[in-house]
Structure 1
Amino acid sequence: MKKKGIGIISLILIIIIAIVAGIKIKQNHDENAVQEIQPVKVSSKTVPTFFFHGWGSSWHAEDTMAQAIKRAGATNTIVRVNVNKKGHARLIGKIKKNAKNPLVEVNFSDNKLTNSQYNGQYANAYDSTGARYVKNAIDLVRNKYHYSKINIVAHSMGNLEVASYIKLNAGKKNFPQIDHLVAMAGHYDRIIGICGWGGISLNAAANDPRIKATAAITMYDMPHVGAWGYFDKGTADERYQNKKQIAEQRTKEYGAGKFAKAGGCFEYPAR
């Protein structure tokens, strides 16, 4: 399982490097499968790639990928944008005139969206606050260096913030052209819980012709987990008791008319 996880992560990194370097990913639209990667001529005016981290994380989670891309020769520039809890964006580093496919590591101080007034509906925080953080980070770099096109790489909650940014700003004046969007563990139907809803990310991408390429990582094979338990360690009795508990919980929730939170969910901050 460990080797399989490393292989998936390596594949995602290869796709990101291909996107940053300006390599075209050819798709078979009948099967929604990646067939081959073909190099194309890269424009003299390169495209910056923005990285957005997930819940409770920071730019450090993005740096391993960014440094690997730099070592692969796809970029020669890595800068960082810090966005504080008031939404103010500050650029750390400089993109020189000869920069090749610069990478922008975005860091949110409010990395759990605790600074948002969402009235008990956490999904509203992506629209009221998360989208504004994304916009401010992108606008800072675009206004300074006049990029008309961008790429985006996002993980987990970062995908929801990016999705809200696109929803609220697409079609407006000066909205950038998003050449490529790489979504890792993107739960676009507003699921709040453990990262790993990779199938949802892929389904969303398959049905949206605007997305040129996407990648997703899922931490668990859920049908296998249901049959054998996490890491194949669950006994038959433990698996039976777990299913029994879930069934009882569903009955209780149906009767109460509301749902209880399960593993992977976090507490709403006090209002």
Structure 2
Amino acid sequence: MKKKWLWGLLIVILLVVGGVAYYNGSLLRASVRQHQDKNAPTVGTPTFFFHGYGSSYHAEEYMVNGAIKEGILKKSDVLVAHVRPSGQVSLSGKWKKGTTHPVVEVNYDNPRVTNRRTDARWARNVIVSVQNRYRFKKVNLVGHSMGNQDISFYLLYYYRHDQKLPRLNKQVALAGPFNGLVMDDYNKNNDSVDKNGKPNHMSKQYKALLPLRDSYPRSAEVLNVYGNKGHGTDGDLTVQSAQSLRYLLNNRPKSYTEKEMHGKYASHSRLHHNDDVNALLYNFLWNHAV
């Protein structure tokens, strides 16, 4: 009787472990197929906004709504892309043919996944889903906090290997934790970067991104914006961690600009609700001075 009970327990454990492994594997494998609609309308260069950990597309709305108020965008220019945990994407909204500044607010239904391959796959799936429905040759990518991880690993794992993907036009990094956060132990010693942005200590994630030094697209322009509340951090992110992006890019982009923000709205979670940051974005992305 005891042996039967033990065998039964073993079978249950194997089923649970196998189910978890299958589920995690399916997250990595789930992919949107590239198949553009033959009647897909042509639009301008889309701008994709990627939110941070534990957040949603609502974190992107202040930046997008500000552009609507400025007359840069219309409400009809904005799509919302919902990414399910399976990796499948649903799009809300519709662009008209010839839309000048199309925008995609990306929303991860599970915003607490930190697996970099899953994050990269989801970013790819969003871009391909939009590319299947509309014709465009380039994209702008904007990331806040961990949204920069989505973008960076997308460029590393997918972009450089697939010429069918739209080319990167402009990238904006907002509060990018490229070399970790303040809460990470190694950041207590990570207090400097050299003139090329090379940090004196590299996190595991940062080391994984080093191949970008030889593959980052030369056609792209980059804007790196981060906050400093007066003690070298934005509350969650060290200035040096954000500045370490420079070393990963290795002078490859067409242009690279850093902007350090100060004041109440320079904190990590408020940087995307900062009018000065909005002004930088609008000028960089759409050549619109505020």
Decide which of 210, 217, 224 is 2:253's aligned counterpart: 210
Structure 2 Cα separation of the partners of residues 192 and 169 of structure 1: 29
Q: CA deviation at 1:169?
A: 1.2
3-state SS, counterpart of residue 161 of structure 2: coil
Matched, 1:84 2:84: yes
Query: Do the aligned partners of residues 90 and 198 (structure 1) sit closer, same or farther apart at CA in structure 2, a change above 3 Å counting?
Result: farther
Q: CA deviation at 1:148?
A: 1.5
In the superposition, the TM-score normalised over structure 1's length comes to 0.55
Matched, 1:97 2:100: no
- Aligned position for 1:56: 54
Structure 2 Cα separation of the partners of residues 166 and 54 of structure 1: 17
Q: CA deviation at 1:199?
A: 3.6
Decide which of 176, 181, 184 is 1:186's aligned counterpart: 176
The count of residues paired between Structure 1 and Structure 2 equals: 167
Aligned-residue RMSD, C-alpha? 2.6
Q: CA deviation at 1:188?
A: 1.5
Structure 1 Cα separation of the partners of residues 134 and 61 of structure 2: 22
- Aligned position for 2:166: 176
Q: CA deviation at 1:88?
A: 0.6
- Aligned position for 2:71: 73
Per-residue CA deviations over 1:89-139 (Å, capped at 9, x if unaligned) read 0000001113220110000011000xxxxxxxx5xx112x11111111111
Structure 1 Cα separation of the partners of residues 136 and 239 of structure 2: 30
Q: CA deviation at 1:162?
A: 1.1
Letter in 1 for 2:252: P
Structure 2 Cα separation of the partners of residues 80 and 197 of structure 1: 31
Letter in 1 for 2:69: R
Tell me if the contact between 1:49 and 1:103 (Cα under 8 Å) persists in the aligned partners. Answer: yes
Query: Do the aligned partners of residues 144 and 86 (structure 1) sit closer, same or farther apart at CA in structure 2, a change above 3 Å counting?
Result: same
Q: CA deviation at 1:171?
A: 2.5
3-state SS, counterpart of residue 171 of structure 1: helix
Tell me if the contact between 1:152 and 1:182 (Cα under 8 Å) persists in the aligned partners. Answer: yes
Tell me if the contact between 2:43 and 2:97 (Cα under 8 Å) persists in the aligned partners. Answer: no
Decide which of 132, 137, 142 is 1:143's aligned counterpart: 132
Q: How does 1:1-271 map to 2 (within 5 A)?
A: 46-76=44-74, 77-113=77-113, 125-127=115-117, 129-173=118-162, 174-191=164-181, 193=183, 195-205=236-246, 207-210=250-253, 212-213=255-256
3-state SS, counterpart of residue 123 of structure 2: helix
3-state SS, counterpart of residue 53 of structure 2: coil
- Aligned position for 1:258: none
Q: CA deviation at 1:214?
A: 5.2
Percent identity over the alignment?
31
3-state SS, counterpart of residue 50 of structure 1: strand
Query: Do the aligned partners of residues 211 and 185 (structure 1) sit closer, same or farther apart at CA in structure 2, a change above 3 Å counting?
Result: farther
In the superposition, the TM-score normalised over structure 2's length comes to 0.52
What 5-or-longer segments of structure 1 have no aligned partner?
1-43, 114-121, 222-271
